[in-house]
């Protein structure tokens, strides 16, 4: 079987079974694998050897961080298992792909928005950019920890004023699927203050448009529903320290690749993705004594994944929460 045919068949098999974001990541990884194989003059899947796979891993190791490589190779393993079922590669090839070892939760600890940073950003936005889309989005990220896809999916009709809440819906037929599909649907309590901020954003700053499906998105641009890339860029941009205070990396704004024009905010060492807000929010909820079960349901994450990848509290912080709980029980 040719490489192109193998990749095409795998992606056709994969697409209906995974979230859109997962499929897109798989697609990118397989395209990189395909390009590498062509460079190595490997044209037939049957020719793939354990040494070839080791060479591919070595090549990617020079390009990406260990945690990213681990995710990429997970997709390669799934593809190899599928190809083995088609007799396109020898059985057991997936076991020849050795990913780098990274500590559980390493990405979560290194790449979260911490409480001090979040509060500093939100205070700055409250003072100078009150109720803008950026203020509303990042306040929601910090207070609820919802995923980027869920943020983008919100409509005006999802507001529940009587309960000061948001209803999250899986609507793949109109381009707003949730990562966990129907299992990701839930109501999220915001509280009066945050709900009021969202309502103020709607009244003052929201652009009244409909998306391509006739829906009225909560977060909009002049073109319609806000895109994932715009939300991602907002996160990167506002987690740059120089947006609220002096640069902490000894850079000049005029020549900084992350700040100047044109710029790429993600190149700032301090910049964090939307998932960094999610990790930080989960950790902050736990540190404030919110039970893991409540956090699990609120953030739509299993307890196992929560403990393994999101809980970035230090041992003394964990003890402090247990101590307060035990003291309250004994009163």
pLDDT value of position 104: 41
In angstroms, the CA 249 to CA 268 distance is 9
The model carries a pTM of 0.68
- The arithmetic mean of pLDDT across residues 161-176, rounded, is 95
- Residue 22, CA distances (Å) to 74, 149, 174, 178 in order: 11, 12, 18, 11
Report residue 167 as tokens: 């209803």
8 Å CB contact between 282 and 308: no
Whether residues 198 and 129 share a domain: the answer is yes
pLDDT digits (tens, 9 = 90+) for 211-255: 999 999 999 999 999 998 899 889 988 998 888 887 777 777 767
Q: Is pLDDT at 272 greater than 80 in this prediction?
A: yes
pLDDT value of position 109: 44
Whether residues 171 and 69 share a domain: the answer is no
The answer to whether residue 18 sits within a structural domain is yes
Which residues span the domain enclosing 202? 110-223
224: alpha, beta or left, given left = phi > 0 and alpha = psi -120 to 50?
left
Whether residues 98 and 114 share a domain: the answer is no
- pLDDT band (50, 70, 90) for residue 324: confident
The answer to whether residue 169 sits within a structural domain is yes
Whether residues 49 and 152 share a domain: the answer is no
Whether residues 171 and 215 share a domain: the answer is yes
Write phi, then psi, for 187 (nearest 5 degrees): -100, 145
Whose CA is closest to 287, among 308, 316, 260, 265? 316
> Which CATH number is 119's domain given?
1.10.443.10
pLDDT digits (tens, 9 = 90+) for 195-204: 999 999 999 9
Report residue 231 as tokens: 């939300």
Q: Is pLDDT at 102 greater than 80 in this prediction?
A: no
pLDDT digits (tens, 9 = 90+) for 243-256: 888 777 777 776 77
pLDDT value of position 262: 58
Matching residue, tokens 């943020």: 151
Task: From 102, 125, 143, give the residue that closes a domain.
Answer: 102
8 Å CB contact between 170 and 177: yes
Q: What is the dihedral of CA 220, 222, 226, 231, to 10 degrees?
A: -100
In angstroms, the CA 88 to CA 81 distance is 10
pLDDT digits (tens, 9 = 90+) for 20-68: 777 888 898 899 899 888 888 888 898 888 888 888 888 888 877 777 7
């Amino acid at each position: 079987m040719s490489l192109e045919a193998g990749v095409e068949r795998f992606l056709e098999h994969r697409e209906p079974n995974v979230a859109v974001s997962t499929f897109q990541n798989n697609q990118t990884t397989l395209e990189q694998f395909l390009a590498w194989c062509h460079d190595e003059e490997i044209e037939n899947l049957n020719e793939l050897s354990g040494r070839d796979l080791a060479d591919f891993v070595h090549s990617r190791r020079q390009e990406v961080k260990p945690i990213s490589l681990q995710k990429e190779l997970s997709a390669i393993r799934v593809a190899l298992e599928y190809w083995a079922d088609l007799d396109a590669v020898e059985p057991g090839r997936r076991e020849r792909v050795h990913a780098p070892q990274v500590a559980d939760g390493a990405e979560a600890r290194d790449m979260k928005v911490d409480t001090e940073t979040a509060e500093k950003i939100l205070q700055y936005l409250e003072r100078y950019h009150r109720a803008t889309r950026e203020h509303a989005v990042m306040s929601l990220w910090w207070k609820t920890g919802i995923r980027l896809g869920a943020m983008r999916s919100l409509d005006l009709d999802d507001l529940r004023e009587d309960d000061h809440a948001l209803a999250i819906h899986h609507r793949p037929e109109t381009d707003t699927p949730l990562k966990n599909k129907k299992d990701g649907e839930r109501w999220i309590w915001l509280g009066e203050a945050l709900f009021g901020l969202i309502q103020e954003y709607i009244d003052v700053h929201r652009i009244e448009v409909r998306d391509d499906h006739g829906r009225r998105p909560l977060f909009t641009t002049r073109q319609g529903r806000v895109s994932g890339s715009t939300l991602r860029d907002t996160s990167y941009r506002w987690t740059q320290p120089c947006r609220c205070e002096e640069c902490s990396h000894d850079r000049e704004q005029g020549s900084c690749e992350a700040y100047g024009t044109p710029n790429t905010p993600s190149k700032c060492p301090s910049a964090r993705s939307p998932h960094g807000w999610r990790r930080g929010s989960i950790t902050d909820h736990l540190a404030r004594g919110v039970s893991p079960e409540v956090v699990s349901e609120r953030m739509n994450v299993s307890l196992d994944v929560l403990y393994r990848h999101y809980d970035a509290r230090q041992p003394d912080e964990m003890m402090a929460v247990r101590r307060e709980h035990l003291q309250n029980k004994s009163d």
